[in-house]
Amino acid sequence: MIFKRLSIALAVAALTIIACSPGNSQEDFGHFAAKGKPPSEHTKAILVAAKGELPLSDTRDFEESSKGFIAAPDSKIIMADAGHVAWDMERFNFLLEQEEFDSIHPSLVRQSKLNMKWGLYEVIPGIYQVRGFALANATFVRGKTGWIVFDPTEASESVRAAKDLLDKHVEKLPVVAVIYSHNHGDHWAGVRGVVDQADVLAGKVQIYAPRSFMQNAISEQVFAGNAMNRRLYYQYGVLLPASPYGYVGQGLSQSTAAGHTGLIPPTRVIEDDTEELTIDGVRMVFQNTPNTEAPSEMNTWLPDLKAFWAAENVTGVFHNIYTLRGTPVRDALAWSKYINEALYMFGNDAEVMFASHHWPRWGKDRIQEVLKGQRDLYANINNQVLHHANQGVTINQIHNVYKTPKSISDQWYNRGYHGSPEHNSRGVINRYLGYWDVNPATLIPLSPADSAPIYVEMMGGAAPIMAKGRELHNAGRYFEASEILDKLVHAEPGNQDAKDLLADVYEQIGYQQENPGLRNSFLAGAYELRSGIPEGATPDSMTPDIARAMTTDLFLDFLGILMDGRNADGMAFTINLVTPDNGEQFVLEMSNNTLTNIEGYQAEDADLTLTITRVGVALAMTGAKSLQDQIADGEAQVEGNVEVLGQLASTFVRFNPQFEILPGTAGPAVADDYNDFEVGEMDVHGE
Q: Which residues bind Zn ion (CB under 5 A)?
A: 136, 186, 312
| Closer residue to Zn ion, CB minimum distance, 136 or 617 | 136
CA distance 263 to 185: 9
| Closer residue to Zn ion, CB minimum distance, 186 or 331 | 186
| Closer residue to Zn ion, CB minimum distance, 310 or 491 | 310
Q: How open is the CA angle 477-480-486, to the nearest 5 degrees? A: 130
| Closer residue to Zn ion, CB minimum distance, 186 or 376 | 186
CA dist 625 → 369, 545, 633, 649, 654 (Å): 55, 15, 11, 15, 17
| Closer residue to Zn ion, CB minimum distance, 123 or 452 | 123
Coil, helix or strand at residue 587 = strand
| Closer residue to Zn ion, CB minimum distance, 312 or 528 | 312
Indicate the DSSP class of residue 242. Answer: B
Q: Residues 6 or more apart from 139 whose CB is under 8 A from it?
A: 123, 127, 128, 129, 130, 149, 150, 151, 309, 354, 356
Among candidates 685, 100, 597, 669, which has minimal Cα distance to 418?
A: 685
Closest CB 328 distance from Zn ion, rounded Å: 17
* HSE-up of residue 502 (Cα within 13 Å, Cβ side): 29
Closest CB 424 distance from Zn ion, rounded Å: 17
Closest CB 339 distance from Zn ion, rounded Å: 16
Q: Residues 6 or more apart from 414 whose CB is under 8 A from it?
A: 318, 373, 374, 377, 404, 408
Closest CB 72 distance from Zn ion, rounded Å: 22
The β-bridge partners of 302 are 307
SS3 content of the chain, % helix, strand, coil (to 5): 40, 15, 45
Closest CB 624 distance from Zn ion, rounded Å: 29
| Closer residue to Zn ion, CB minimum distance, 329 or 459 | 329
CA dist 112 → 93, 136, 327, 679 (Å): 11, 15, 25, 20
Coil, helix or strand at residue 525 = helix
Closest CB 257 distance from Zn ion, rounded Å: 12
Closest CB 181 distance from Zn ion, rounded Å: 8
Closest CB 308 distance from Zn ion, rounded Å: 18
Measured from each CB, the residue nearest to Zn ion is: 186
| Closer residue to Zn ion, CB minimum distance, 232 or 621 | 232
Closest CB 152 distance from Zn ion, rounded Å: 12
Closest CB 151 distance from Zn ion, rounded Å: 8
Strands 175-179 and 206-210: parallel
Among candidates 85, 130, 112, 82, which has minimal Cα distance to 257?
A: 85
Q: Helices marked H in 253-394 — which ranges? A: 332-346, 364-389
| Closer residue to Zn ion, CB minimum distance, 312 or 514 | 312
List b or e across 672-685, with b for residues whose CB sees 16 or more CB atoms inside 10 angstroms: ebbeeeebbbbbbb
- Which amino acid, residue 323? T
Indicate the DSSP class of residue 84. Answer: S
| Closer residue to Zn ion, CB minimum distance, 607 or 687 | 687
Indicate the DSSP class of residue 467. Answer: H
CA dist 633 → 341, 578, 579, 610 (Å): 57, 18, 17, 14
Strands 119-124 and 127-131: antiparallel
- Which amino acid, residue 451? S
Closest CB 318 distance from Zn ion, rounded Å: 14
| Closer residue to Zn ion, CB minimum distance, 26 or 250 | 250
Any long-range contacts for 107-111 (C-beta under 8 Å, 24+ apart)?
107/50, 107/51, 107/54, 107/415, 107/417, 107/514, 108/248, 108/249, 108/251, 108/417, 108/513, 108/514, 108/515, 108/516, 108/519, 109/248, 110/54, 110/412, 111/249, 111/251, 111/316, 111/317, 111/415, 111/417
| Closer residue to Zn ion, CB minimum distance, 136 or 590 | 136
| Closer residue to Zn ion, CB minimum distance, 136 or 324 | 136
Closest CB 252 distance from Zn ion, rounded Å: 6
Coil, helix or strand at residue 575 = strand
**Adjacency order of strands within the sheet including 298-302:** 274-279, 282-288, 298-302, 307-309, 352-354, 361-362
| Closer residue to Zn ion, CB minimum distance, 50 or 228 | 228
Chain CA centroid to CA 186, Å: 9
Closest CB 320 distance from Zn ion, rounded Å: 10
Closest CB 687 distance from Zn ion, rounded Å: 5
Closest CB 188 distance from Zn ion, rounded Å: 10
Q: Helices marked H in 410-515 — which ranges? A: 421-433, 448-458, 462-474, 478-491, 496-511
